[in-house]
Amino acid sequence: MEVAARAILPALASAAPGVRFTAFVNREAAGEVWDAGIESIVIPVNARNRVEWVRGEQQLLPPAARRAGCDLVHSLGSTAPVWGRFARVVTIHDVIYKRFPEAHGGVKAIGMRALVPLAARSSQRIIADSNATRDDLVELLKVPAQKIDVVALAPAPPRVHPTPAADLRRHHGLGERPLLLSASAKRRHKNLMRLLEAHALLEDRPLLVLPGYATDHEAELRARAAQLGIAGDVRFLGWVSDEDMEGLYAAAAVFVFPSLCEGFGLPVLEAMQRGVPVACSGRSALAEVVGDAALLFDAEDPRAIADTVRAILTDARLAEGLRHDGRPQAARFTWEATARGCLETYARALRRPVA
């Protein structure tokens, strides 16, 4: 969500130079320089504290938006203020919390179950990142289809130079083997357990690299890797710098993404944009995002995952074809198009009565 928010702001300002845009940001983003056409107003909350996040959005944001003279507030993170004399648009990126309740826990899970449906009801328009998310909103939250606009996201272009391969491998202990890369949070719906089981089936095993923030589920993943006898063939890296992430993309032989549910699938597009062959699940939004430019597999079948990865690793012509096809597929998605879609949604919302 943060990647999308940071990318859409300057795209909106560029697409509509006659419109005044105001970014309401938390304490962590205070002082950041946005596009010249975007004013920044700090809502004094800590984004890492979910209770503060809710208080900021529901209590502090509406009067701040009124004082700033906003005609419309677009909430970019699946929840939204439920009151205020302005039109409301909310982007709901996914409803994974409904499909896979175990994906989120604690206060966040409780908040999402309450606040996402509330945002859907109280907003004039809803933006979904994909047709799959639109369908989930209709099925699971009973949102009228005519209230939803599908506006796709886009891959974030490289902003930094990649860490040189030798430095990257030395720093993270990656050795000299080919790298199999899968970037995601360590959550159950990301299906990394089956990826480990698939990895154990590969001969001449590459090194599986798993960057992404840790969760309680990571302990289970590490235990399963040890049980499968592949602990030495897997690296759990946690958060890495932008430079190291670009270095991992540059070094990867295959990007594999076995997720069971995605609202869009930015990681696969970012890999394709960088020329990495992609193998991924065909679930939810992933199939519509990758088109014919990636190999799809049955996400619940470790052998199918292994066979797909093996095919790319052992067939140079196939791998090169995926590299060749991936870049133009990723190029079909642009932040300029995302901005135009958002502006069309704003126009629809402003024609509706304001609560």
pLDDT digits (tens, 9 = 90+) for 57-83: 999 999 999 999 999 999 999 999 999
Torsion sign over Cα 227, 231, 237, 243: negative
Both tokens of residue 283?
């679930």
The pLDDT value recorded for residue 107 is 56
The string of pLDDT tens digits covering residues 214-241 is 888 999 999 999 999 999 999 999 889 9
Buried b (16+ CB within 10 A) or exposed e, 301-338: ebebbbbbbbbbbeeeeebeebbebbeebbeebebebb
* Residue 106 in this model has a pLDDT that exceeds 70: no
Element (H, E) at 42: strand 38-42
The string of pLDDT tens digits covering residues 318-332 is 999 999 999 999 999
* Residue 354 in this model has a pLDDT that exceeds 50: no
pTM for the structure as a whole: 0.91
DSSP string, 249-306: HHHEEEEEE--S--SS-HHHHHHHHTT--EEEE-STTHHHHHTTSSEEE-TT-HHHHH
* Residue 278 in this model has a pLDDT that exceeds 80: yes
Helix axes 266-273, 316-331, angle to 10 degrees: 110
Domains and CATH numbers, the chain: 2-154+335-350 (3.40.50.2000), 165-331 (3.40.50.2000)
pLDDT-derived band of residue 353, with 50, 70 and 90 as boundaries? very low
Burial class of residue 277, CB neighbours in 10 A (0-12, 13-18, 19+): buried
- How confident is the prediction for the chain on average, in pLDDT? 92
* Residue 53 in this model has a pLDDT that exceeds 70: yes
Are 346 and 352 a contacting pair, CB within 8 Å? no
What is the C-alpha to C-alpha distance for residues 97 and 192, in angstroms, rounded to an integer? 18
